[in-house]
Structure 1
């Protein structure tokens, strides 16, 4: 049931529509300039109610801040602290100041596009993509809650991330870096297992099998703010990682005198904190290595993970073995991440095709 009434304003006659909502309550909408406009509105409401797609205009008045809190709580329930922290920061610094007090029904594509452009002028692609993603995800909740008909910000073009250049050390350079380091055993272990910093510093004596030369990765120690959070590895899956035999003596020494639950590296009780990128012990070792080797570039502890992949591939390891060693979700991910390391395989393909063609074709008559 719906009705149309007229009323007067300083700008002239206007039309008011009163209608019944699906829950039995009554709604109204005013401001129509013509009766035809009012009738078209009634028709659209009737169709939406019949199709179970009606959205109460009052629900669209909820502000982004309210749904933002719900979204962050949902993320906190499923994400590791290290993954949640950048989202909370992006919400607090970039999303909330601009959108918190805006009703979800008032957000327009053009406004968000202008915001993305403004952010892109001063912030990196990762920050822009993360901030936009938060707002878009919050509006997805509004759609699911039937507060708005569709997400108005989906489809906005975002800046592209520029991949950082990876640094791969040679065996000789790994040896140089280790010798210049305060923790040489840790440098060797990172460079020859490909484990993440948090995985290595989370290893315990009980995780080491010296006979099979394996470590069992089941903990990850990550510094978030000023607190170390210990949880599962990045992919939530434990894995077994091999280490070369020349590390056996060093690992055996690191285990000496420690209990099974003690941490492998360090004093056994406290997790080693990732060194400061500017003035930490690792950066100091890199500077000393660069002074002795002009070909030595700047590297970070995470670059030793890339180095491990490079050394393994150059030694003939197949992509599936490298995937398992690094803990990637799939071999495709390993190939995508380290595609540049498999360039030599293209030459092998061409050579193999030539050999196969020669073997398959009949010999030419040379007479």
Structure 2
């Protein structure tokens, strides 16, 4: 039964918390003070003992754990990929702890959470997707706090949607035209050199994620792969599949992505562990062959200064200049190198590099590629029974390779034979002559239609 006592002008109540202290072996009691009458204090104690008997009780000692301490311990216990963990810690440090850090886990009220959610979504520097990520992380913390017996229930309600309906905005995208990719590649050639020209075409023709392209090593790229694959079992299987037969299929192996981990540039598994092999059209195989033979770097796409591309802020220092255009500039003493300038590509000016990956899927869909082959190529998994029973065959891969090559041929047949590339440095290959051979090959297969 609860025990009440007078403290000054108020009453205090103590009750059995239903636990035994691990060190002393004695019962653990909780208490609450501040009641005006003995009856109020006694009734409160009876309610708490009822909660104990019905397994609803949360100890005040447990519930008083501060959110900043709980968030720290919770983050130390999650088992996710490096990038996801870094993102979770960042969201907790920037948004969750500043608002809830000094609040006890058991004291967070649903009404307080809803006010915070509304404020978070209204901030101009937080987009809808990022706000959803922050709120989702907080919801997981609260659900685990219930399991840890720090709360009776989560303050985040999933029973019904509150507030007015707001349609999720979708990014406006235009069709990815080969002509635009061609102009991007020329801009990259002028600014970056031959690696930039091949980089743009590789992303458009493979849909690889940017960090996967940064980390592409020669041993995992055509022409070295699969012969140079360090995994013996995979090497033998890949040689038979991609090099065997009368018509080999050139391919790239996506084995790594480049990310910063503990301030060190590190080779990590691809996102979602999406290791995969990507067949490439013959024209791109020729470009990669020439590129890999043109430099001594271990990376297929070295930066302008020859180092790892991931060390540069690629979006700012490379992509924005390639997509947005550049005015001609002269040599500055101890500064910039001279550049002739190049036009902006309207479809991609101010837009994300990632749209080239999106556009690759459009090309696959337009080419009639099978869904299982498309999703596997993009590094995704098909859900449910369809994913369990599906398999990407070599015939499906050949269809993709042929469709991409046909798209290239339909484009180059429209180019004039007087095409001349512009590059800040001498090119390792005669790109103009190579393009003329591509045009000649296209004319043998396709008529010059101008379309």
Return the TM-score normalized by structure 1: 0.77
Question: Which residue is equivalent to 1:172?
Answer: 179
Please state whether the residue corresponding to 1:25 is helix, strand or coil: strand
Deviation at residue 222 of structure 1 after TM alignment? 2.5
Question: Which residue is equivalent to 1:344?
Answer: none
Question: Which residue is equivalent to 1:206?
Answer: 219
Deviation at residue 55 of structure 1 after TM alignment? 2.2
Structure 2, unaligned runs of 5 or more: 21-26, 224-247, 327-341, 385-451
Q: Is 1:7 the equivalent of 2:6?
A: yes
What is the root-mean-square deviation in Å for CA atoms of aligned residues? 3.2
Deviation at residue 153 of structure 1 after TM alignment? 2.7
Question: Which residue is equivalent to 2:88?
Answer: 87
Aligned counterpart in structure 2 of residue 138 of structure 1, from 137, 141, 148: 141
Question: Which residue is equivalent to 1:217?
Answer: 254
Counterparts of 1:331 and 1:271 in 2: how far apart (Å)?
A: 36
Counterparts of 2:145 and 2:138 in 1: how far apart (Å)?
A: 11
Question: Which residue is equivalent to 2:114?
Answer: 113
Counterparts of 1:252 and 1:142 in 2: how far apart (Å)?
A: 55
- Post-superposition Cα deviations, 1:262-291, rounded to whole Å, max 9, x if no partner, equal 22222798421365445x333222234994
Structure 1, unaligned runs of 5 or more: 333-367
Counterparts of 1:26 and 1:188 in 2: how far apart (Å)?
A: 70
Question: Which residue is equivalent to 1:319?
Answer: 371
- Post-superposition Cα deviations, 1:277-313, rounded to whole Å, max 9, x if no partner, equal 45x3332222349947666654432111011111121
Question: Which residue is equivalent to 1:285?
Answer: 322
| Structure-to-structure mapping, 1:149-168, within 5 angstroms | 149-155=152-158, 157=162, 161-168=168-175
- The answer (yes or no) to whether the contact 1:239–1:324 under 8 Å persists in 2 is yes
Q: Is 1:78 the equivalent of 2:130?
A: no
Counterparts of 1:249 and 1:124 in 2: how far apart (Å)?
A: 42
Q: Is 1:191 the equivalent of 2:190?
A: no
- The answer (yes or no) to whether the contact 1:108–1:153 under 8 Å persists in 2 is no
Counterparts of 2:55 and 2:220 in 1: how far apart (Å)?
A: 57
Bigger mean CA deviation after superposition, 193-202 or 269-278: 269-278
Deviation at residue 8 of structure 1 after TM alignment? 6.2
Task: Summarize the Cα distance change of 1:193–1:293 in structure 2 as closer, same or farther, 3 Å threshold.
Answer: closer
- The answer (yes or no) to whether the contact 1:255–1:264 under 8 Å persists in 2 is yes
| Structure-to-structure mapping, 1:347-358, within 5 angstroms | none
- The answer (yes or no) to whether the contact 1:125–1:160 under 8 Å persists in 2 is no
Q: Is 1:262 the equivalent of 2:264?
A: no
Return the TM-score normalized by structure 2: 0.64
Deviation at residue 221 of structure 1 after TM alignment? 0.8
The number of equivalent residue pairs is 325
- Post-superposition Cα deviations, 1:44-81, rounded to whole Å, max 9, x if no partner, equal 44443334443211111110011111122234x4222x
Counterparts of 2:261 and 2:174 in 1: how far apart (Å)?
A: 26
- Post-superposition Cα deviations, 1:242-278, rounded to whole Å, max 9, x if no partner, equal 111111111111222778x922222798421365445
Task: Summarize the Cα distance change of 1:20–1:262 in structure 2 as closer, same or farther, 3 Å threshold.
Answer: closer
- The answer (yes or no) to whether the contact 1:221–1:271 under 8 Å persists in 2 is no
Deviation at residue 215 of structure 1 after TM alignment? 1.1
Task: Summarize the Cα distance change of 1:22–1:115 in structure 2 as closer, same or farther, 3 Å threshold.
Answer: same
Counterparts of 2:322 and 2:177 in 1: how far apart (Å)?
A: 16
Aligned counterpart in structure 2 of residue 249 of structure 1, from 272, 286, 290: 286
Question: Which residue is equivalent to 2:381?
Answer: 329
- The answer (yes or no) to whether the contact 2:142–2:154 under 8 Å persists in 1 is yes
Counterparts of 1:252 and 1:165 in 2: how far apart (Å)?
A: 36
Aligned counterpart in structure 2 of residue 16 of structure 1, from 2, 7, 13: 13
Task: Summarize the Cα distance change of 1:277–1:16 in structure 2 as closer, same or farther, 3 Å threshold.
Answer: same
Bigger mean CA deviation after superposition, 114-123 or 126-135: 126-135
